[in-house]
Amino acid sequence: MNDPNSCVDNATVCSGASCVVPDSNFNNTLSVVLSVVLTILLALVMFSMGCNVEIKKFLGHIKRPWGICVGFLCQFGIMPLAGFILSVAFDILPIQAVVVLIMGCCPGGTSSNILAYWVDGDMDLSVSMTTCSTLLALGMMPLCLLIYTKMWVDSGSIVIPYDNIGTSLVALVVPVSIGMFVNHKWPQKAKIILKIGSIAGAILIVLIAVVGGILYQSAWIIAPKLWIIGTIFPVAGYSLGFVLARIAGLSWHRCRTVAFETGMQNTQLCSTIVQLSFTPEELNVVFTFPLIYSIFQIAFAAIFVGFYVAYKKYHGKNKAEIPESKENETEPESSFYKINGGFKPDEK
């Protein structure tokens, strides 16, 4: 007969009838599953992004790289610096500052290409910037982290998991390259893959929010400072990207393109890197920031697109009559619409 005052068999510490039972392995298993699923879905998203790249147009921008160079300066100059300034100004935890910087170093995603389409931007430049920033992130993200986290690393406040971050980036460059090849060989199939990737991206965001909420419940007790940073950061990216592009002499439609490429970050990539790089204890204080950024980058992007559409409607101007025409600059129609029509509504 069992003694009601005895401890259960799997108790690790007993004192009379008081027992300490080890935690369930459910969370650990769920964390591993989440990491695997995130990696697979993100690989699909990056693969579809590669399917959005037309190699001839991409090489054309590489040969005339001024727009790419301005975008590079915005992506890996303005955004990491803005993230560092916000982190220091609001005096957030070092581990939180690292995640803010990772977000700032992330390349643009397919969402920025959609937004560029909606505001009559240079689609080929948008896709080329997204591709270049994704490939260059392999080296630029670790470099920016090395530069901007030095004050915290030297004080022993944090250790940067460069190996995990580097492995995540390398694993994601491959799908992009394969996607570019698929688009080159089978453009019609690439168009279908692009739409599937957009759906996968939406599923990825929902999955991160739901499963992350189960795994890291205390992460939803969010410090007001992170909400404020998550609000200011994308606005700073959009605004500074537009201003710098204009200072660099780019046309208005390319300024809009650079602005969205700068502020609209690949939050799915950031969430996956964070999930794969940090311990559960660390994730409890940082996991929700990519979601916060995602919310506000979409909200402000919608506002900016709304203002642009209202501007066009108010002035009664069609796409050919937008201010850049004042510069007498003729732009050939992007073959993006012919090859990668994934963002263009189906004609009825």
Q: Indicate whether 11 belongs to any domain.
A: no
pTM, full prediction:
0.73
pLDDT digits (tens, 9 = 90+) for 184-205: 888 887 778 777 777 776 777 6
Alpha-carbon distances of 345 from 57, 187, 210, 241, rounded to whole Å: 22, 18, 30, 28
CATH number for the domain spanning 123: value is 1.20.1530.20
Q: How confident is the model at residue 322, as a pLDDT?
A: 46
Which residue range is the domain that position 67 belongs to?
46-313
| Below-70 pLDDT ranges, the chain | 1-28, 30-31, 201, 205, 208-209, 211-220, 316-348
Q: How confident is the model at residue 316, as a pLDDT?
A: 64
Q: Indicate whether 67 belongs to any domain.
A: yes
Q: How confident is the model at residue 86, as a pLDDT?
A: 95
Cα–Cα dist 29/312, whole Å: 52
Single-letter code of the amino acid located at 118: W
Nearest C-alpha neighbor of 253 from the set 307, 186, 329:
329
Q: How confident is the model at residue 31, as a pLDDT?
A: 67
Q: Indicate whether 143 belongs to any domain.
A: yes
For residue 31 the two structure tokens come to 């964390």
Q: How confident is the model at residue 337, as a pLDDT?
A: 44
Q: How confident is the model at residue 216, as a pLDDT?
A: 62
Q: How confident is the model at residue 342, as a pLDDT?
A: 41
State the virtual CA torsion across 259, 51, 140, 203 in degrees, nearest 10: 80
Residue identified by tokens 């599923």 is 203
Q: Indicate whether 269 belongs to any domain.
A: yes
Cα–Cα dist 310/29, whole Å: 50
Q: Indicate whether 53 belongs to any domain.
A: yes
Q: How confident is the model at residue 217, as a pLDDT?
A: 61
* Maximum CA extent, the chain: 94
pLDDT digits (tens, 9 = 90+) for 118-136: 888 887 788 888 888 888 8
Q: How confident is the model at residue 219, as a pLDDT?
A: 59
**Residue 146, H or E segment:** helix 123-148
Q: Indicate whether 304 belongs to any domain.
A: yes
Q: How confident is the model at residue 117, as a pLDDT?
A: 81
Q: Indicate whether 337 belongs to any domain.
A: no
Domain total of the chain: 1
Q: Indicate whether 71 belongs to any domain.
A: yes
Q: How confident is the model at residue 8, as a pLDDT?
A: 47
Nearest C-alpha neighbor of 228 from the set 278, 140, 293:
293
Q: How confident is the model at residue 40, as a pLDDT?
A: 77
For residue 131 the two structure tokens come to 């591709």
Question: Who's near 5: CB < 8 A, 6+ residues apart?
Answer: 16, 17
